[in-house]
Amino acid sequence: MDFGKLFSKVVKAVKDNIETTAKPTTTTSQPRQNTSYSNPTLEPERKKTPAEWESYFSEILATEFPQYVVRQHVAVTDVAGFANDEFQLYTTRPRQSYKAEWGQPYTFVLEQMGSIKGVVMLGKGHSHDSNVKYLIARMYAKKMGIPYINFYTQMPNERDYVIGRIRKFLNQ
Residue 37 has a pLDDT of 46
Whether residue 157 lies inside any domain: the answer is yes
Number of domains into which the chain is organized: 1
List Cβ neighbours of 112 (8 Å cut-off, separation of 6 or more). Answer: 67, 68, 69
Mean pLDDT of 4-10: 71
Whether residue 38 lies inside any domain: the answer is no
DSSP state of 13: H
Boundaries of domain holding 117: 50-169
d(CA 3, CA 26): 39
Whether residue 35 lies inside any domain: the answer is no
- pLDDT tens readout for residues 105-156: 999 999 999 999 999 999 886 655 568 888 888 888 998 999 999 999 888 9
d(CA 80, CA 87): 15
pTM over 0.85: no
Whether residue 31 lies inside any domain: the answer is no
Q: Do the Cβ atoms of 109 and 71 come closer than 8 Å?
A: yes
d(CA 105, CA 131): 13
Whether residue 37 lies inside any domain: the answer is no
d(CA 155, CA 124): 9
Q: Residue 88 — very low, low, confident or very high, per pLDDT cuts 50/70/90?
A: low
Whether residue 163 lies inside any domain: the answer is yes
Residue 36 has a pLDDT of 44
Whether residue 16 lies inside any domain: the answer is no
SS3 26: coil
SS3 5: helix
* Nearest Cα residue to 108 out of 77, 80, 150, 152: 150
